[in-house]
Amino acid sequence: MVYGSFDKRATALAQLQEAGGGDPFRILIGTILSHRTRDENTTRATENLFSKYKTPFQLATADPDIVRRLIKPSGFYNMKTKNIMIASRQLLDEFGGEVPDNEEDLLKLHSVGRKTANCVLVYAFNKPAIPVDTHVHRISNRLGLVSTKKPEETEAELVRKVPKKYWLELNDLFVRFGQTTCKPIGPHCSTCSLSGECFYYKTVVAPKRKAS
């Protein structure tokens, strides 16, 4: 696993897990809201939304204009309002108002892909899975754990290579590491405790430093 000196502040999903007591509906909706936005925006939007709507029925029958206003910090709020209201209606119509605790049924929900389904399994149900977001995909390739082009390929390789006992921790750990140390642009390689083992450092960063 990846350990080093990096900020240990909770990610948005970990905050949702703690603040909502692991409420699966809150985590499902929060994960959908997290698409293409920053953690702090996800947290604000989810807190706004759940201050007024706390159940699938309440959200499915809500005034879309109010929902848009509440989730505006998450960005793409018109599309996300539609997505979370449709998903809420599906929960009522197909699952008795309960969030499914298995991947097959989660993937039936509107706007839920593998990453979102795996996030719900990990953060809501404490079931081993590997949610692969941009951080997990980037860091896994930089470290040399995988050599993949698509998140789905990264997930398959990590599932094969990483012992299952680490799956629950992996997403939160990699996200925090990616936010503070192994950033998309300007990674802090000089202060990273993993540079000696990192494929990216050894093949890209170190040769440039030697040449200069």
d(CA 204, CA 50): 45
The predicted pLDDT at position 6 comes to 39
pLDDT, tens digit, 9 for 90 and up, residues 86-112: 999 999 999 999 999 999 999 999 999
What's the rounded mean pLDDT across residues 140-155?
97
More confident residue, 14 or 156: 156
**CATH code matching the domain that covers 134-211, chosen among 1.50.10.20, 1.10.3720.10, 1.10.1670.10, 3.90.76.10:** 1.10.1670.10
**Is the pLDDT assigned to residue 2 strictly greater than 80?**
no
**Is the pLDDT assigned to residue 16 strictly greater than 90?**
no
pLDDT, tens digit, 9 for 90 and up, residues 105-137: 999 999 999 999 999 999 999 999 999 999 999
Note every long-range contact of 74-80, with CB atoms under 8 Å and residues 24 or more positions apart, other chains counting.
Answer: 74/33, 74/34, 74/37, 74/41, 74/42, 74/44, 74/45, 74/46, 75/36, 75/37, 75/41, 76/35, 76/36, 76/37, 80/32, 80/33, 80/35
**Is the pLDDT assigned to residue 74 strictly greater than 80?**
yes
Identical fold, 12-125 and 134-211: no
- Domain ranges, ordered by start, for the chain: 12-125, 134-211
For the domain made up of 12-125, give the CATH fold. Endonuclease III; domain 1 (1.10.340)
Average pLDDT over the chain reads 93
More confident residue, 66 or 209: 66
The predicted pLDDT at position 49 comes to 98
What's the rounded mean pLDDT across residues 33-51?
94
